[in-house]
Every structure is written in C-alpha cells, then in structure tokens.
Chains A and B, each alone.
Chain A
Amino acid sequence: EAQVTQNPRYLITVTGKKLTVTCSQNMNHEYMSWYRQDPGLGLRQIYYSMNVEVTDKGDVPEGYKVSRKEKRNFPLILESPSPNQTSLYFCASSLQGRSWETQYFGPGTRLLVL
C-alpha cells in the first residue's frame, strides 16, 4: 500500500531532551516536507526537501533540523525541544514537488513538550 508513515504517533517528552520523529514514504517520491499544525494557526511548513541531500527552510524552521540521506526517509530532529514546540506534526510527500501535484500526508505525530 502506498503510504507515508511517521513514528512515533504520540510522544511526551521534557524540555531539552533531543528527539527524532521519523518519516518514510514508499512511493519513490522526490519531494518531502514537514509541517506543524496548531489551533488557530493552521498548517505551517517547517522544512522541505526537493531530493536527496537537498533541504530548504519553510516558514517556521527555528528549533528544528532535518536530513535527507535517502529518498524514502526524511526525519525531523528537535535538538532541544521547548514547550512551544508542542504541536501536531505532519510529514508529506509528492512525486517531484511541482506546484500542481498532490501532497500525501502521514498520519501525524502529536508531541507534548513539558
């Protein structure tokens, strides 16, 4: 089944404890992206990647890192999480990242930083 998977789905952590949220897609998509969704603010892009070893900042990259060593994986790294990073995170992918393509989203990761 073609899909985007994220792990973990739910995570409670404490301020300053490094964490990684994994994202993987099995559709051979070149483009991958991370978003966060907060009440009243909608979806905001954190980072995106047009292909392996190519990453760019989105609208809210502060406090996050990403890497794209393989086409299928695009992990999101929070080196020192803070409570304002408590949010619902979505990973997404599309074939080549062209503006008219459909984005396929993962199921989301709910993060609570205490």
Chain B
Amino acid sequence: RKEVEQDPGPFNVPEGATVAFNCTYSNSASQSFFWYRQDCRKEPKLLMSVYSSGNEDGRFTAQLNRASQYISLLIRDSKLSDSATYLCVVSPLGGSQGNLIFGKGTKLSVKP
C-alpha cells in the first residue's frame, strides 16, 4: 500500500525556536524525496529536495534515512513567516512523477 505519513500537527512554537518534522514512507523502492510548503489557501511550492547525504538551505536542514524509511525537516530560528503547512512528498517509481505521493501535511504556527 502506498503511504506517506507525517507528524500530526499542529506545531505551535515561539519565534526563534527549533522545530523538527518527520515523515515516514512505506515503499522501500522510493526514489526521490521533497519537502513542499503550502501557505493557507495557496498552492504548494517546493521548499527543498532531500538528498541521501542530507542537505541544508539556510535555516532549513533535510535528512533522509533509507534504512528506516523516513525523512526529516529541521527549521532553526523559526520566523513568523515560516507559518505554513509542510508537505512531505515521495516519488515511488524510478524516473517518473506519475505516482508522486503527498503526505497530508504538518501545520506549523510560529507565534511572536
């Protein structure tokens, strides 16, 4: 069964906090992994791809653990503007986006 599971939200954190989201996937043949961000009532936008060696983009760090089949997103020094829903996205088939699977999302609310 295709499945991507994310932390149940919402996460309510103060500005400046560090917050981490986890996501597990069931298909061990999954090839590509992403975090998308979706603001309220808006379209999803790519936040970052997740590479096997882990990758960082400013305050955001993504990690992949293939053995345990999970990916994570760490946000340091949270800003009010980080408030959004974060979607974990997995591509289970090699070479095609035809079966992208989206997690249900984790809502983050950063408070002053």
Residues of A with Cβ closer than 8 Å to B? 31, 33, 35, 40-45, 48, 50, 56, 58, 90, 94, 97-103, 105-108
Contacts and interface: CB of A to CB of B under 8 A. Distances in A.
Given A58-B99, A100-B31, 9 more contacts: A31-B97, A41-B104, A58-B98, A97-B96, A98-B95, A99-B94, A101-B97, A102-B46, A105-B43
A35 B100 CA distance: 11
Q: Is the interface of B mostly helix, strand, loop or mixed?
A: loop
Contacts of A108: 41-43
Interface of B: 31-32, 41-46, 49, 87, 91, 93-100, 102-105
Given A90-B44, A103-B46, A108-B42, A42 B87 contact: yes
Given A31-B97, A45-B100, A56-B98, A99 B32 contact: yes
Contacts of A98: 95-97
A107 B43 contact: yes
Given A99-B31, A102-B46, A108-B42, A40 B96 contact: no
Contact of A42 (B31, B41, B94, B105): B105
A94 B95 CA distance: 13
